[in-house]
Amino acid sequence: MKVLIAGASGFLGRALVADLPGYGHSITTLVRRSPAAASEIEWHPDRGELDPSALSGVDAVISLSGAGISDKRWNAAYKRELLDSRVQPTATIAATLASLPQADRPRAFLSSSAIGYYGERGDLPLPETAAAGTGFLAELVQEWEAATTPAVDAGVRVATLRTGLVLSAHGGLLKRLVPLFKIGAGGKLGSGKQYQAWISLADEIGAIRHVLESESVTGPVNLAGPQPVRNEEFSAALATVLHRPALLPGPAFALRLALGEFADEGVLVSQRVIPEKLSQTGYRFQHEDVHAALAWATKN
């Protein structure tokens, strides 16, 4: 397939661009500057600008755009950036897809999303059919996913990729945790009882490829490992993999002081996410348990 990718310069985007050609797919990327190669196409989603001809001959579009959820302390301005950096690119792509004649329209649109959709849910199992939660992230994700509506209405196969904690030593939360655990300064966060939805980078990319190639997969798809664990289990597993103790917990009050609102919505929140749709459509996880995923991630 010929695949057009937005957000290709990010942590997940770089891994996906490196992966897909090995499975026979050709890649074109959207960039917000003058193209530096024939495989790049300029666009400006903040202004809703994407030349429809850029989609000519494209089989599928994947959008991974979005500012980092934990890159900065949340305030009103950064919350707006988090929302706009997701909704504007998604809406621009969806509107452009809908504007094309059916014969020229890509068949699939995979739009990045997040398990933040579910909010705080305690021990409740959360397949894709679970209702939306409450809070800033839950509302953000609902608006983000709703931005795909023009493409859905135009008959494009749309899948929204609700991603959990992606495990890799080169990005995401694990990149920050590993140095702490290596010096013996790691431990559970808060009570440690909150469920944590994780997925190895290898399975994140493998699952995206599975959704891309599976014409029956539509709607929300939970990109999370098949065995969600409590944070205390996750922390113990990481300590074991690194051959270090996990003796220094991060108290909830200290996390709230350091991280502000993100502490409750991104660190202390409990989300027992189940990848029901991936399992039902035959995806085989490379890393089925958190120990295997962490052992792989800390070396790759």
Q: Give the CATH number of the domain where residue 96 resides.
A: 3.40.50.720
Distance CA 13, CA 62 (A): 9
Q: Which amino acid is at 223?
A: L
Angle between helices 231-242 and 290-297 (to 10 degrees): 50
Distance CA 159, CA 210 (A): 11
Pairing relationship of beta strands 125-126 and 165-167 according to DSSP bridges: unpaired
pTM over 0.85: yes
Distance CA 196, CA 147 (A): 27
Phi, psi dihedral angles at 93 (to 5 degrees): -65, -45
Q: Which of 103, 232, 112 is nearest to 163 (CA)?
A: 112
pLDDT at 56 (0 to 100)? 83
Q: Which residue has the tokens 């993100």?
A: 262
Q: Which amino acid is at 103?
A: A
DSSP conformation letters of 45-77: GGGTB--GGGGTT-SEEEE-----TTSS---HH
pLDDT at 300 (0 to 100)? 80
- Classified as helix, coil or strand, 270 is coil
Host domain of residue 246 = 2-297
pLDDT at 222 (0 to 100)? 98
120-150 core/surface letters (b: 16 or more CB in 10 A; e: else): bbeeeebebebeebebbbbbbbeebbebbeb
For the chain, 300 residues long, the average pLDDT of each consecutive 10-residue run is 96 96 97 92 96 92 94 94 98 97 95 97 98 97 98 98 93 85 90 96 98 97 97 96 90 90 94 98 97 94
- Classified as helix, coil or strand, 42 is strand
Residues 6+ apart with CB under 8 A from 105: 55, 97, 154, 155, 156
Domain count, the chain: 1
CA–centroid distance for 87 within its chain: 14
Phi, psi dihedral angles at 148 (to 5 degrees): -80, -5
